[in-house]
Amino acid sequence: MQLPANAFKAALRAGRPQIGLWLGLADAYVSELVASTGFDWLAIDAEHAPNDPRSVLAQLQALAPYPVHAVVRTVLVPMVESAEQAARIVAATRYPPAGIRGVGSALARASRWNQVDGYVHGCAQETCVLVQVESAAGLDNLRAIAATEGVDGVFFGPADLAASLGLLGKTDAARVQDAITHGIKTVRAAARAAGVLSADPTIARKYLAAGALFVAVGIDTTLLVRAARDLRALFKDAAASPHGTS
């Protein structure tokens, strides 16, 4: 059995933009539903959403038959603020002597339970390490973070970044957008892929135009709430009218 190629990593290296969606409902059926809609990648949030290893596993299994790449928010590592942190993250994805990853491939789904030929020697080449910069300190150290050997991409978290800049809840503020746009260019100058989340189509396109290569353009929870509210609003007049009247 051969090691599966990481199409997402290959696309980033080739400079092909990848459009994604954030998954926070922590449900395999929902994740599979979204997987059928044509996004390039889906982020399974294991930081803010009520996910645990088994719920993440169920979602990975649900996504597997579809041509979409899963990015887990414990592999897309949040709140990275220094090159030293980035280097430790890379080390955690590599087997010794290159890193500190524990060798347990016989139990690992990624190795197909030791059925992938040469897995322990070749898996690093298909592992995509993404770090999140979402603070003023991270921005200060961005050039060094992006240059860290083994880091494939840097993802900007607008919500935490806005809060760190004293603009809590104002992810669309010009200062936040400018910081991210400049950050994208810094990351691309280091020959790394830049990513970001923005549910505002205009802002998302701005980041794509600046050179971002993996952009999440929505969140499943927000989509569901918005659609439900909009649908309910269509029938407010019916709730206000007596039965039997037009």
Q: Which residues are catalytic?
A: 48
Residue 162: C-alpha distances to residues 2, 53, 135, 173, 178 (Å): 43, 29, 8, 8, 11
C-alpha 150 chain-centroid distance:
17
Asked if the peptide bond before residue 65 counts as cis, ω within 30 degrees of 0, the response is no
Torsion of CA 170, 171, 176, 177, to 10 degrees: -130
Rg of the Cα atoms in the chain? 20
> For residues 52 and 54, what is the distance between their CA atoms, to the nearest angstrom?
6
